[in-house]
């Protein structure tokens, strides 16, 4: 069975500090991977997606970056956090064959102070 693990569960960070959020998928080779962000409840915006190792496409510009160093790992990061980065971050994967079904992690709640 496939599992998705997202870390950390929650973070409180200072403005200007760096950030790294991680996501690992086990039991599925070559998944499509996604990062989502929700500011204040409501729409979850797709930030990045990746269909293969080393390739990441940006959907929304938020002064964040993403990388896929391994087939089963997706990292979201920034060198300097902004207040506007606060929110809820969600990682998801989908099978390569179809990108309609999504399987989600539990999410990370980020508070930037």
Partner 1 sequence: GDQVEQSPSALSLHEGTGSALRCNFTTTMRAVQWFRKNSRGSLINLFYLASGTKENGRLKSAFDSKERYSTLHIRDAQLEDSGTYFCAAEDSNYQLIWGSGTKLIIKP
Q: Is residue 101 close enough to count as binding partner 1 by CB under 8 A? A: yes
* Nearest residue to 38 (alpha-carbon basis) of 5, 60, 66: 60
Q: Pick from 12, 82, 102, 113 the residue near partner 1 by CB under 8 A.
A: 102
> How many residues touch partner 1 (CB under 8 A)?
19
Q: Which secondary structure element, helix H or strand E, spans residue 63, and what is its range?
A: none
Q: Pick from 31, 33, 34, 81 the residue near partner 1 by CB under 8 A.
A: 34
Q: Is residue 2 close enough to count as binding partner 1 by CB under 8 A? A: no
Q: Which secondary structure element, helix H or strand E, spans residue 94, and what is its range?
A: strand 87-94
Residues 6+ apart with CB under 8 A from 38: 44, 45, 87, 88, 89, 90
Smaller CB distance to partner 1: residue 14 or 35? 35
Residues that bind partner 1 (CB under 8 A): 34, 36, 41-46, 49, 59, 90, 92, 100-104, 106-107
């Amino acid at each position: 069975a496939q599992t998705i693990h997202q870390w950390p569960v929650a973070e409180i960070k200072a403005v200007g500090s760096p950030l790294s959020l991680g996501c690992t998928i086990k039991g599925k080779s070559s998944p499509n991977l996604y990062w989502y962000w929700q500011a204040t409840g409501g729409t979850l915006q797709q930030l990045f997606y990746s269909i293969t190792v080393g390739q990441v496409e940006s959907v929304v510009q938020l002064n964040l970056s993403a990388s896929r160093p391994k087939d089963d790992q997706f990292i979201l990061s920034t060198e300097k956090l902004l207040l506007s980065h606060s929110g809820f971050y969600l990682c998801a994967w989908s099978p390569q064959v179809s990108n309609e079904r999504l399987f989600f992690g539990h999410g990370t709640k980020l508070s930037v102070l």
